[in-house]
């Protein structure tokens, strides 16, 4: 089980086997294992990792981490029951656990867009520009049948857009810079530049 926290960096393109491939760089770790959960004690297998050393944390985190560093982010990763846990509290994991060609999935928080209309939020075509239409270009149109006398549940309308947790699967690790803890992943990742992302095996 390979798992890691990191920060999304810049997007670019690299030359791979004579073709230009779009990639995204990720500052992956280093992360410290802060807790190991076992089937016998906790009912399931998991590890908790800490990322990004912080100056100030609350007393609950301070008591939990004790002799370890103070971390801004704590994240738990479940380990399959059939897999044997080989991690220890205090162990540091970095980008070297991944290899070129690995298939991973990345979870992040998408960019917040605020309150948006149906054209931007749901890709509606909008109304006609002429033939009697006035101020209808970006309107949603009909909201339902006249006889029902209500708007059907789940109707796509204007509202808050973005700032949601999203996962992208089947991303290929193109390059691993173990010295600087930089992963180069094929494709695009959710979130803004500098956003926190969670990288795990594509199981």
The structural domains of the chain, ordered by start, are 3-113+165-201 (2.40.30.10), 114-142+153-162 (no CATH)
Q: What is the pLDDT of residues 137-175, one digit of tens each?
A: 899 988 888 888 899 999 999 999 999 999 999 999 999
Q: What is the pLDDT of residues 19-37, one digit of tens each?
A: 999 999 999 989 999 999 8
Higher pLDDT, 84 or 191: 191
Asked whether the predicted pLDDT for residue 203 surpasses 80, the reply is no
Sign of torsion, CA 68 74 75 78?
A: positive
Beta strands at 182-186 and 112-116: parallel, antiparallel or unpaired = unpaired
Considering the entire predicted model, what is its pTM? Answer: 0.84
Which pLDDT score, from 0 to 100, does residue 60 have? 87
């Amino acid at each position: 089980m390979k798992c890691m926290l990191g920060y999304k960096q810049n997007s670019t393109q690299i030359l791979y086997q004579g073709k230009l491939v779009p990639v995204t760089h990720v500052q992956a770790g280093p992360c410290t294992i802060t807790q190991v959960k076992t089937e016998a004690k906790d009912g399931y297998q998991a590890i908790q990792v800490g990322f990004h050393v912080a100056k100030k944390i609350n007393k609950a985190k301070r008591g939990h981490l004790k002799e370890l560093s103070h971390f801004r982010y704590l994240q738990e990763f479940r380990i399959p029951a059939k897999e044997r846990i080989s991690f220890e509290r205090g162990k540091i994991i970095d980008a070297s656990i991944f290899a070129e060609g690995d298939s991973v999935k990345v979870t992040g928080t998408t960019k917040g867009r605020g309150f948006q209309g149906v054209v931007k939020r749901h890709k509606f075509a909008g109304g006609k520009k002429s033939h009697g239409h006035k101020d209808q270009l970006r309107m949603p149109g009909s909201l339902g049948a006249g006889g029902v006398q209500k708007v059907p549940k789940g109707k796509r309308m204007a509202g808050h857009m973005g700032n949601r947790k999203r996962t992208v699967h089947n991303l290929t690790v193109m390059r691993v810079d173990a010295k600087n803890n930089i992963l180069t992943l094929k494709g695009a990742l959710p979130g803004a530049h500098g956003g926190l992302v969670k990288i795990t095996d594509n199981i």
